[in-house]
Amino acid sequence: MMTNHKRHRVRRGWSIPKVAILVAAGMSAAVLAGCADGDGHASLSRGPIDCQQDIAGQVAEFRQALQEKPNSHSRQKRLAEAEAGAADCHLARARAYQADRQPHQALEELERALSYMPTHPESLRLRDELTTQVAQSEQWAWDASAAAEQEQWREAYELAGRALAIDGTCQAALQVQSKAREVLVPRALTEAREAIDAGRLADAEAALADVEALDPGNAQARALRQDLAERARAIAATPPPPPPTVAPEDAAPQAIPDRQQTAAPEPELIRIHEGWLSREDDRYPKAWPMVQEHVTIELDDTDDEPLTADIEIKIGSEDEIEMEEQRVGGMFWFEALSGRRYRFVLLEIIDSTETIRFAIDTTR
């Protein structure tokens, strides 16, 4: 009895494993072709744009691919995505330049973004914003130079600072600030020394704060701060004068023998501060702090009929003294937490700008 056997025909010289390898390779090639672009361009297999690489070179690859097949919808779409991605990359760089106060470099990046996508909305918006800011910065720099020519150094310094807040590379503003600093720092140091010598601690504190804002790390300011602290401790250790005694209104006057009646000597006063407060004039603060005593003097309001001012004195974090409708020449005493007594004197009122000039006195 004969048995039927199935015969397998194999091409001469090829084994079954070799055929399997070739079939697998063909499948892999098909898969790779499908991962590329759908129409065979392998350079389009990655994401649209890598912002850390050559942006123009990457876009050029997509444009070259489209030139090879101009009617390929997939390549047209990928090129549009690449150009939008390139615009986004340049917009991100522009924002970084803006944050670093380099608006001109930011505008250059925005022009590159718009060269890829002329209707890129965020690039158009930021370009308009930066163009306006650069014009304002240039105006402030010009005004600062004009103020410097008039030797109005404080105004010049502040105007230059506004310009540099937008464009940190503005040479005109940098030069004005440098020159203004040469004038203002020595002046403030002199004011601080004189105030410390006279015991006007709040004035000394204000002058030193000015130096530190103009020239952080100034060695002379550090030394004067030590002198200020020592003077403050010495003043705090001085006992306050006794409060004046007031006889009851109904008390009968006491007779004093002739030639023996002498008035009690008035305590000797020293003026430790004289300055301005204002609610509308930007040259002056609205409140003035006596830092060492934890006291703040604040202007609340002024009136013109009659010409008066409302002043509030805050002592520590809880006590407040409200002095309403004070006229020019008015004065009153208050006591700080240290126990030291001070006298407030109202010297001048300018109602049109809600401004006052005042002085602070104390006893030796």
191 and 162 within one domain: yes
Is the same domain home to 301 and 357?
Answer: yes
Instruction: Tell me the three state secondary structure of residue 1.
Output: coil
200 within domain boundaries: yes
Q: Which long-range contacts (CB under 8 A, 24 or more apart) does 171-180 make?
A: 172/141, 172/142, 172/144, 172/145, 173/137, 173/140, 173/141, 173/144, 176/141, 176/144, 176/145, 176/147, 176/148, 177/144, 179/148, 179/153, 180/148, 180/153, 180/154, 180/156
Q: pLDDT by residue (tens digit) across 290-332?
A: 877 888 999 999 988 888 999 999 988 778 888 888 988 888 8
In this structure, the answer to whether residues 282 and 359 fall within a common structural domain is yes
Does 6 fall in a domain?
A: no
Is residue 355 located within the same domain as residue 323? yes
Quote the CA–CA distance of 166 and 306 in Å, as a whole number.
46
Domain around 290: 269-363
The most confident of the ranges 244-248, 267-271, 314-318 is 314-318
Using the predicted structure, report yes or no on whether residue 139 has a pLDDT greater than 70. yes
User: Which of 119, 153, 169 is the C-terminal boundary of a domain?
Assistant: 119
Report, as an integer, the average pLDDT of 89-97.
92
Average pLDDT, the chain: 79
Asked if residue 100 is part of any domain, the answer here is: yes
Whole-angstrom distance, CA of residue 259 vs CA of residue 106? 88
- Measured CA to CA, the distance from residue 345 to residue 321 in angstroms comes to 15
CA 99 → CA 130, 162, 179, distances in Å?
A: 11, 15, 26
Q: Tell which wins on pLDDT, 35 or 326.
A: 326
Instruction: Please report the pLDDT score of residue 72 as a whole number.
Output: 81
When mean pLDDT is compared over 29-33, 240-244, 309-313, 331-335, the highest value belongs to 309-313
Residues 174 and 224 in one domain: yes
Question: Alpha-carbon dihedral of residues 234, 236, 237, 239, nearest 10 degrees?
Answer: 130
Q: What is the pLDDT of residue 203?
A: 85
pLDDT, mean of residues 192-211: 87
pTM attached to this predicted model: 0.52
Does the pLDDT value for residue 82 go beyond 90?
no
- 143 and 115 belong to one structural domain: no
Buried b (16+ CB within 10 A) or exposed e, 240-265: eeeeeeeeeeeeeeeeeeeeeeeeee
Identify the band that residue 36 occupies on the pLDDT scale cut at 50, 70 and 90: very low
Higher-confidence residue of 254 and 349: namely 349
> For residue 192, what is the domain's CATH number?
1.25.40
Q: Determine whether 6 is exposed, middle or buried from the number of CB atoms within 10 Å of its CB (0-12, 13-18, 19+).
A: exposed
> What radius of gyration do the chain's Cα atoms show?
40
- Same domain? For 291 and 353 the reply is yes
Residue 263 lies inside a defined structural domain of this protein? no
202 in the same domain as 143: yes
In the predicted model, is pLDDT for residue 136 greater than 90?
yes
Task: Output 106 or 28, whichever has higher pLDDT.
Answer: 106
Task: Determine, yes or no, domain membership for 3.
Answer: no
273/359 same-domain check: yes
Task: Please report whether residue 10 resides in a domain.
Answer: no
The answer to whether residues 148 and 207 belong to one domain is yes
Note the Cα 335 to chain centre separation in Å. Answer: 36
pLDDT given at position 249: 54
Residue 2 has pLDDT above 50, yes or no: no
Query: Is residue 261 one of the residues assigned to a domain?
Result: no
Tell whether 333 and 284 lie within a shared domain. Answer: yes
pLDDT of 33: 34
Q: For residues 29 and 155, which has the higher predicted lDDT (pLDDT)?
A: 155
| Whole-Å CA distances, 288 to 135, 148, 294, 310, 313 | 36, 28, 11, 15, 10
Say how many domains are in the chain. 3
Residue 90: partners with Cβ closer than 8 Å, 6 or more residues away: 55, 109, 110, 112, 113, 116, 123
45 and 89 part of one domain = yes
Residue 347 lies in a domain: yes
